[in-house]
Structure 1
Amino acid sequence: MTYRTIVFAYDGSAEGQAALSEGIDLAGLVGARCHLLAVMAVPPEAKYSQVVVPEDCLDENYARINHILEEGIERFRNAGLEVDGVVRVGEAAPVIGEYAEEVHADLVVVGHRRRGPLDRWWHGSVGHSLLDTLPCSLLVAMKHQEANA
């Protein structure tokens, strides 16, 4: 399989940074076109009710997400790679899947956050949700654990 187009779902977390590192290495090796996606979640108060979220709250959240996106773009530039960056609003898994389909991705790269079974059941898993819905391959990168001294 040749990976010509790779979508990186990036949230700025340590796990997301580890995924970005692995994915950037892979993209450099295969010469893939890169797309960096940052997803701005819908605030819970707006998602489950008809409450209007104040615009300054949305602006603050967008500024934070945009900063994360710019940080990721800089990592690609430092690696000598070009990348298209975009912010989308919504639930992470569906937004990632839609964007992957839109850009005709061959691979999506996401990070993995280690959690217990109850926490994973309660909060869900983006990687697990993507397994059944993505139109392409999925790389779930793991942050390497430090050895106990």
Structure 2
Amino acid sequence: MLLVYDGTLEAQAALKRCSQLSLALSAHVDVVSVVDSITANATCAGMLSDLACSSMEAHAQHALDVAVAHLVNLGVTAHGFIKFGRTVDVVPLHVAAFHADIVVIGHRVQSGFARWWGGRPVHLDLAERLRGAAIVAVTAPLS
């Protein structure tokens, strides 16, 4: 099982669901935290500083440590991986290398202008790229 985790509320909901699934299935979990400096660099017109890249990597490492610790505290065998690139590119590579059958990812429901401007959700792009793996897209509960 593979959990894509970035520390957002949606990722926290995905972590909770992944915990339940892994305990029910006695499954090992790989947790992947992605540092997407490619998209960030494009967003800021190629002016992404080394300090910003380091900050993104530190944030990803902290999120990864939190997720792995949570799973291990529940008795789940979990390993963490930092990946660099776009999520839609690095997740299929990890799935192929480690033969993950289930990919759990958080999803944010967008509305209005954000739906138009924000582009396609990552889980839709992953569904097109992952063959033979189930994708569990988890939305955060409304507060």
Partner of 1:13: 8
* Structure 1 position 125 matched with structure 2 position 110: no
Aligned-residue CA RMSD in angstroms?
A: 2.1
Count of matched residue pairs: 141
User: Structure 1 residues 46, 27: closer, same or farther in 2, change over 3 A?
Assistant: same
Partner of 1:87: 82
Which sections of structure 2, spanning at least 5 residues, go unmatched? none
Higher helix share: 2
Q: Measure the CA separation in 2 of the matches of 1:116 and 1:49.
A: 24
* Structure 1 position 40 matched with structure 2 position 40: no
Partner of 1:144: 141
The Cα of 1:57 is off from its aligned counterpart by: 2.3
State, as a whole percentage, how many aligned pairs show the same letter.
23
* Structure index of larger Rg: 1
Which sections of structure 1, spanning at least 5 residues, go unmatched? 1-5
**SS at 1:109's partner residue?**
strand
Write out per-residue CA displacement over residues 90-133 of structure 1, whole angstroms, 9 at most, x where no aligned residue.
11112112111111110100011010264234322101111111
Partner of 1:26: 21
User: Structure 1 residues 141, 45: closer, same or farther in 2, change over 3 A?
Assistant: closer
CA contact (8 A) 2:27 2:76 kept: no
5 Å matches for 1:55-134?
55-116=50-111, 118-123=113-118, 124-134=120-130
Q: Measure the CA separation in 1 of the matches of 2:105 and 2:113.
A: 21
CA contact (8 A) 2:34 2:85 kept: yes
Q: Which amino acid aligns with 2:10?
A: E
CA contact (8 A) 2:103 2:136 kept: yes
Q: Measure the CA separation in 1 of the matches of 2:47 and 2:66.
A: 30
**SS at 1:132's partner residue?**
helix
User: Structure 1 residues 145, 44: closer, same or farther in 2, change over 3 A?
Assistant: closer
User: Structure 1 residues 120, 129: closer, same or farther in 2, change over 3 A?
Assistant: farther
**SS at 1:144's partner residue?**
coil
Write out per-residue CA displacement over residues 65-98 of structure 1, whole angstroms, 9 at most, x where no aligned residue.
1011111111111211121101111111121121
User: Structure 1 residues 145, 77: closer, same or farther in 2, change over 3 A?
Assistant: same
